[in-house]
């Protein structure tokens, strides 16, 4: 019966991984929820910055352009985070299915090992192919999530450049310079916070495997 | 591994108890599963929890081809009754599961699809097995609100689910009740706590008293046979239940 127990390589290799995956994906989800909340805050901040630039008039023309760009950035970031959230929900679902596969496969393997008189090969093969199909779906979602995170990271790099440019433009704001500097500094701080979160997500064991 | 004990046989009509796994972890309650075969068909009665599936499967497969099971009968919805359903379905996806209509949309959480489940109405139903008619006998509120026992009038066997169950010490591991008075002490607390309605108990006692029963087979503990069957029914009739 050892050939039957050997016929589920996916489960054997996945056993420690699926538990870790579920934990990782839950943590990723929490981090993304935080980023989504922050990106909403950026949107409001960008709106305030636009009003401030309008009040400053010609003294803050450059700042006005940048604050418009920051508003577009915050909306894009939000859309990006929504897509990440969708992918994460898909991953949670698939990891849960894989965990169930692992349990069922363990019980079927034990049944086969305890029943050398009974041919279980066909059922084990069918189970193996279902396990494989689920593992492939999860692998695909994992890749999509990784790509989406990379895209988000690139977007945040651009946001960082915009925030730093806004800080420079704030210096030309004459009497509005202190207010503009404060707003652009807050932008920069928040963008850095998001960048930090995304960097830690990139290092998650869900992607690195350890 | 569990063992199989055939306690009724007439031609190819058999009742087989699947019992007592010495390797079962202590934190999982011990359960009895029953296989009824007739005319080449088989029905598994209260197939058990997922974690004991390997032991039940292994024992059953020494007696009968698991992929040929035409149905399982679930007395009620508890996990020790039928959380293994999805695993049995791996061997025969067309297998049916007879269960109270009340649990028809709950038990699919353990597995199966729309075609799997055959709802039993409150008044019970006849379940065919290659020409043999088994009867799903109402036992509602004993303990589950949608609960059935299974009666075979040819074999004179009543599968009684949790009614008659006893949580026996390790040294009382016989298939049959040997000493009713000693045995029933291990059943009393269980029945007082788990059986929720004196009225439902009364009705059940009246109902089954009219049946010819040689063996009363609970899901936990030992089988009552002969005079112990009516001794049990009388004892249960007198017992005040639904008490903590």
Q: Which domains does chain B have, with CATH numbers?
A: 3-238 (3.60.15.10)
Residue percentage of chain A with pLDDT more than 90: 44
d(C-alpha B232, C-alpha A47), whole Å: 79
Residue percentage of chain B with pLDDT more than 70: 100
**Is B61's CB within 8 Å of A126's CB?**
no
Is residue B111 within 8 angstroms of chain A, CB to CB? no
Evaluate if residue A55 carries a pLDDT over 80. Answer: yes
Contact predicate B185/B135, CB 8 Å: no
d(C-alpha B161, C-alpha A30), whole Å: 45
Closest CB from B1, B66, B87 relative to A104 = B87
pLDDT level of residue B98 (50, 70, 90 thresholds): very high
Residues β-bridged to residue B118:
B98
**Is A111's CB within 8 Å of B50's CB?**
no
For A20-35, the pLDDT digits (tens) are 788 888 888 888 888 8
Q: What is the pLDDT of residue A16?
A: 55
Residue among B136, B147, B227 nearest B181 (CA): B227
A74-78, A106-110, B15-19, B163-167: segment of lowest average pLDDT? A74-78
Q: What is the pLDDT of residue B125?
A: 98
**CB-CB neighbors (< 8 A) of B58 in chain A:** 111, 114-115, 118
Strand-by-strand arrangement of the B125-129 sheet: B125-129, B132-138, B148-152, B157-161, B215-218, B224-225
Q: What is the pLDDT of residue A22?
A: 82
**CB-CB neighbors (< 8 A) of A123 in chain B:** 67, 90-91
Residues of A engaging B, defined by a Cβ cutoff of 8 Å: 103-104, 107-108, 110-111, 113-115, 117-118, 123, 126-127
Q: What is the pLDDT of residue A6?
A: 39
**Is B61's CB within 8 Å of A115's CB?**
yes
Evaluate if residue B171 carries a pLDDT over 80. Answer: yes
Closest CB from A104, A118, A126 relative to B86 = A104
Does residue A148 lie in a domain region? yes
d(C-alpha A8, C-alpha A142), whole Å: 22
Residue B210 neighbours by CB distance under 10 Å: 7
For B16-41, the pLDDT digits (tens) are 999 998 888 889 999 999 999 999 99
Residue among B244, B222, B213 nearest B234 (CA): B213
Q: What is the pLDDT of residue A14?
A: 52
Strand-by-strand arrangement of the B117-120 sheet: B3-10, B13-19, B33-38, B41-45, B69-73, B96-100, B117-120
**CB-CB neighbors (< 8 A) of A115 in chain B:** 57-58, 61-62
pLDDT level of residue B210 (50, 70, 90 thresholds): very high
Q: What is the pLDDT of residue B25?
A: 86
Contact predicate A76/A152, CB 8 Å: no
Q: Which residue of B has its CA nearest to A106?
A: B54
pLDDT level of residue A1 (50, 70, 90 thresholds): very low
Mean pLDDT of B85-107: 97
The CATH code of the domain that includes A166 is 1.20.1270
Residue percentage of chain B with pLDDT more than 90: 93
In 3-state terms, what secondary structure has residue A209? coil
d(C-alpha A180, C-alpha A49), whole Å: 8
Does residue A77 lie in a domain region? yes
A38-42, B5-9, B50-54, B99-103: segment of lowest average pLDDT? A38-42
Q: Hey, what are B8's tokens?
A: 């009724």
Does residue A5 lie in a domain region? no
Q: What is the 3-state secondary structure (H, E, C) of B72-128?
A: EECCCCCHHHHCCHHHHHHHCCCCEEEEEHHHCCCHHHHCCCCCCEEEECCCCEEEE
**CB-CB neighbors (< 8 A) of A126 in chain B:** 90
Q: Which residue of B has its CA nearest to A110?
A: B54
**Is A118's CB within 8 Å of B51's CB?**
no
Q: What is the pLDDT of residue A74?
A: 85
Q: What is the pLDDT of residue A85?
A: 85
Substitution target from A97, A111, A121 for chain B, most B beta carbons within 10 A: A111
Mean pLDDT of A127-153: 93
Evaluate if residue A86 carries a pLDDT over 80. Answer: yes
Residue among A157, A198, A174, A188 nearest A67 (CA): A188
Mean pLDDT of A101-118: 94
Does residue A4 lie in a domain region? no
Place of tokens 């959230």: A85
Evaluate if residue A11 carries a pLDDT over 70. Answer: no
Evaluate if residue A145 carries a pLDDT over 70. Answer: yes
Is residue B55 within 8 angstroms of chain A, CB to CB? yes
Does residue A2 lie in a domain region? no
Does residue A1 lie in a domain region? no
Does residue A6 lie in a domain region? no
Angle at A145 (CA atoms; ends A140, A148), nearest 5 degrees = 125
Average pLDDT over chain A reads: 86
Average pLDDT over chain B reads: 96
Closest CB from B54, B67, B87 relative to A114 = B54
Q: What is the ipTM of this complex?
A: 0.89
Residues β-bridged to residue B34:
B17, B45
- Give chain A's domain count: 1
pLDDT level of residue A9 (50, 70, 90 thresholds): very low
**Is B53's CB within 8 Å of A107's CB?**
yes
Domain assignment of residue A191, given as a range: 12-208
Does residue A72 lie in a domain region? yes
For B124-169, the pLDDT digits (tens) are 999 999 999 999 999 999 999 999 999 999 999 999 999 999 999 9
**CB-CB neighbors (< 8 A) of B90 in chain A:** 104, 108, 123, 126-127
Mean pLDDT of A59-79: 89
């Amino acid at each position: 019966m050892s050939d039957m127990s050997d016929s589920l390589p996916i489960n054997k290799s996945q056993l420690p991984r699926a538990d870790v995956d579920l934990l990782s994906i839950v943590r990723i989800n929490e981090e993304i929820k935080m980023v989504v909340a922050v990106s909403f805050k950026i949107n409001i901040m960008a709106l305030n910055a636009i009003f401030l630039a309008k009040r400053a008039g010609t003294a803050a023309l450059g700042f006005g352009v940048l604050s418009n760009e920051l508003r577009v950035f915050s909306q894009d970031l939000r859309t990006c985070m929504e897509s990440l959230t969708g992918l994460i929900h898909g991953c949670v679902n698939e990891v849960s299915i894989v965990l169930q596969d692992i349990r069922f496969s363990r019980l079927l393997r034990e049944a086969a090992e305890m029943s050398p008189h009974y041919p279980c090969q066909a059922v084990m093969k069918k189970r193996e192919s279902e396990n494989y199909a689920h593992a492939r779906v999860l692998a695909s979602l994992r890749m999509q999530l990784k790509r989406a995170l990379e895209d988000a990271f690139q977007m945040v790099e651009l946001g960082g450049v915009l925030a730093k440019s806004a800080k420079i433009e704030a210096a030309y704001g004459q009497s509005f310079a202190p207010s503009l500097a404060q707003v652009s500094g807050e932008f920069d701080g928040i963008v850095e916070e998001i960048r930090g979160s995304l960097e830690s997500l990139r290092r998650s064991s869900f992607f690195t495997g350890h | 591994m569990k063992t199989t004990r055939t306690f009724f046989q007439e031609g190819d009509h058999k009742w087989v108890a699947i019992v007592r796994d010495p390797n079962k972890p202590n934190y999982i309650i011990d359960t009895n599963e029953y296989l009824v075969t007739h005319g080449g068909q088989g029905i598994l009665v209260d197939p058990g929890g997922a974690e004991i599936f390997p032991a039940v499967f292994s024992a059953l497969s020494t007696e009968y081809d698991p992929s040929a099971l035409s149905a399982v009968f679930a007395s009620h919805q508890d996990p020790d009754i039928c959380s293994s359903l999805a695993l049995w379905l791996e061997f025969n996806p067309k297998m049916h599961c007879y269960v109270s209509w009340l649990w028809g949309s709950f038990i699919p959480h353990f597995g199966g699809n729309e075609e799997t489940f055959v709802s039993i109405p409150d008044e019970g139903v006849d379940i065919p097995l290659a020409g043999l008619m088994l009867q799903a006998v109402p036992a509602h509120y004993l303990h589950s609100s949608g609960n059935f026992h299974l009666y075979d009038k040819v074999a004179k066997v009543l599968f009684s689910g949790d009614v008659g169950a006893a949580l026996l010490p390790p040294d009382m591991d016989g298939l049959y009740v040997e000493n009713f008075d000693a045995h029933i002490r291990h059943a009393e607390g269980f029945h007082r706590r788990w059986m929720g309605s004196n009225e439902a108990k009364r009705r059940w006692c009246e109902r089954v008293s009219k049946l010819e029963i040689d063996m009363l087979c609970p899901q936990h503990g030992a089988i009552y046979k002969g005079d112990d069957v009516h001794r049990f029914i009388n004892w249960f009739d007198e017992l005040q239940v639904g008490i903590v």
